[in-house]
Structure 1
Amino acid sequence: MAGRPARPLGRGRRDRRRAARGAALVQGGGVTLDLFDTHAHLHFPDFAEDLPAVLERARAAGVRRLLTIGTDVETSRAAVALAAREPDVWASVGIHPHEAGGADDAALAAIAALARAPRVVAVGEIGLDWFRNLSPRAAQEQAFRRQLALAREIGRPVLVHCREAHEDVLRILGEERPDAGIMHCFSGDVAIARRCLDLGLLVSLAGPVTYPKARALPEVARWIPGDRLVLETDCPYLPPQGHRGTRNEPALLAVTAARVAELRGEALPELAARLTANACAALGVP
């Protein structure tokens, strides 16, 4: 998650037209994709007015599975409820580092209960954020460690948020050793990616890999082994190039996937299928 859930983002005809290009990218070329958006916030207020249409555009673009991510107790409950209603949506629950100041025993107990609900496949979004520092660092680290312990206890992978905190995140992961996980919205270089792989994590690329000024991320996309990579939107945040300034949504995962396929010199359908298989295996999703 790039920011707080309450942050308003634009909606309207322009957003819908631009989002439809994700579907047109594959429909117009007669290409059938099988994509998995491994990190979305579909239950946020940004999608309250048109979620059914958002999901239809996602399906038209070949996004057949979606993971909606909680960031505190309230949004985790909403994620679980949405996953219960939509057959192609699964949920992850957790307390984001921005909200770690409120991660008391009661909140963490609520997350632990939600983590055992049907269609909850991961613990997250958890981690450290030294960029915004919206919660005290000690509180962030404590919440991170306690949720890593929860994930180990119940046998779930973790979805890790890391912003300007790679050394501390990697140190804690090395100490706590989760069974499996995904480094969400990866923002490091090849050296950091290699350390993530050494810890058993998958690396997830999002819209920023498409940005013209991106330097390290295209190199990561080229370098990373094909069985250790997944894709995400982080919607409603971080839309890919050509859609910046509008609300992101799952249909636009096709744009990011096309760029990653180009960087790797691979055919888009084959890349999409392989990365979806990676995500399904990591998350236990059929």
Structure 2
Amino acid sequence: MWTDTHLHLDANEYAPDRELVTARARDRDVTRFVVPAVCRANFDTVQQLAHQTPGVFYCLGIHPMFVHNAQVEDLDALRSKVQECLNDPLFVGIGEIGLDGFEPNPDWTRQTLFFYSQLRLAREFDLPVVMHVRRSQDLILKGLRQFKPKSGIAHAFNGSFQQAEEFLKLNMCLGFGGACTFTRALQIRRLATELPLEALVLETDGPDIAPSWIAKERNAPEHLPRIAQVVAGLRGIDLPALSAATQANAIRVLPKLQP
């Protein structure tokens, strides 16, 4: 049994066949899916998808790559929506939030305003966080140390071992997916191989970050077991052991995933 801890199920690419996407995944024993919001416009969308689609859970947040179009008032809307959803068993945390240093000329001031505001919200309501950490690991760690959310996931982790250790000290898990299936991704594969097993959760980031066997095609959670097979091979363990560990890790940092 597998949990896909990061799936953009409401992306336009999935619009015609959302039920087929999750059905194909369930046929391959992927039974739970975490779908983060990215902006105010899809808060209701991810909530509705979770309630319409078996196995889907959702997060609420404003993604760093969407803050340039966001308004400060959107943070008030997020707070209201979070309060509304606190007792929803399918609402698992604040996400996708974070910082992105990959895009040209990142507006760190604006990104940090939204990131810190959402960390503060997670702390206030004792919620986990699901984070985007592209070329921003140290800045993310600075925010986590300041606001100390209860737990969470650094999605698509690609930092150093030292940075990984700091995330683990803050009760975070690190997400690994299609990128580690490429033999040229040496650092990601070293991390997936050598980090403590308690550090890892598995994800697809579908429809993005496709594994090597579909290259630049649309990614989907049905590929998660084969991604897991690659990770298990790197670590020299069997698939049941990896499944049990990554499921336990996901539940530890996102407790509402508990069956």
Which residue is 2:161 aligned to?
190
Name which of 207, 227, 252 aligns with 2:178: 207
Contact 2:172 2:253 in 1 (8 A): no
Q: 1:133 offset after TM fit, Å? A: 4.8
1:62 aligns with 2:25: no
> Cα gap change, 1:134/1:83 in structure 2, threshold over 3 Å: closer, same or farther?
farther
Q: Which residue of 148, 160, 167 maps to 2:138?
A: 167
Q: Whole-Å Cα distance in 2 between the matches of residues 228 and 222 of structure 1?
A: 11
TM-score by length of 1: 0.85
What SS is found at the alignment partner of 2:249? helix
State the alpha-carbon separation in 2 of the partners of residues 134 and 240 from structure 1: 29
Aligned-partner residue type, residue 172 of structure 1: G
CA distance in 1, matches of 2:29, 2:240: 10
* 1:157-197 Cα shifts (integer Å, max 9, x gaps): 00111111122111222222111111011011322211211
Deviation sequence 1:129-177 (CA, Å, 0-9, x none): 1111586211100000000011111111001111111221112222221
Question: What does 1:129-144 align with in structure 2 at a 5 Å threshold?
Answer: 129-133=100-104, 136-144=107-115
Q: What residue is the counterpart of 2:247 in the other structure?
A: 276
Q: Distance in 2 between matches of 1:97 and 1:135?
A: 10
Structure 2 CA distance for aligned equivalents of residues 265 and 178 of structure 1: 33
Amino acid at match of 1:81: Q
Decide whether the 8 Å contact of 1:207 with 1:233 is kept in 2.
Answer: yes
1:182–1:204: 8 Å Cα contact kept in structure 2?
yes
State whether residues 71 and 93 of structure 1, in contact with CA within 8 Å, keep that contact through their aligned partners in structure 2.
yes
Offset at residue 114 of structure 1 (A)? 2.5
The answer to whether the aligner puts 1:146 opposite 2:146 as a matched pair is no
Letter paired with 2:150 = D
- 1:231–1:257 CA contact under 8 A, matched in 2: yes
Identity of aligned residues (%): 34
Larger mean Cα displacement after TM superposition, 228-237 or 166-175:
166-175
> Cα deviations across residues 224-272 of structure 1 (Å, max 9, x unaligned)?
2122210100010011111112100011111211111001111112211
> 1:102 Cα shift?
3.8
1:6 is aligned to none
RMSD: 1.4
Distance 2:102 2:213 in 1: 26
* Count of equivalent residues: 253
Aligned to 1:19: none
* Kept in 2: contact 1:124–1:158 (CA 8 A): yes
Q: Secondary structure at the match of 1:40?
A: coil
Of 208, 232, 236, the residue aligned with 2:207 is 236
- Alignment partners' CA distance in 2, 1:120 and 1:204: 19
Aligned 8 A contact 1:160 1:183 in 2: yes
CA contact (8 A) 1:190 1:223 kept: no
How far apart, in 2, do the equivalents of 1:50 and 1:104 lie? Answer: 32
CA positional deviation for 1:101: 2.7
Cα distance, 1:106 vs structure 2: 2.1
For structure 1, the 5+ residue unaligned runs are 1-33
Contact 2:171 2:253 in 1 (8 A): no
Is it true that 1:77 corresponds to 2:44 in the alignment? Answer: yes
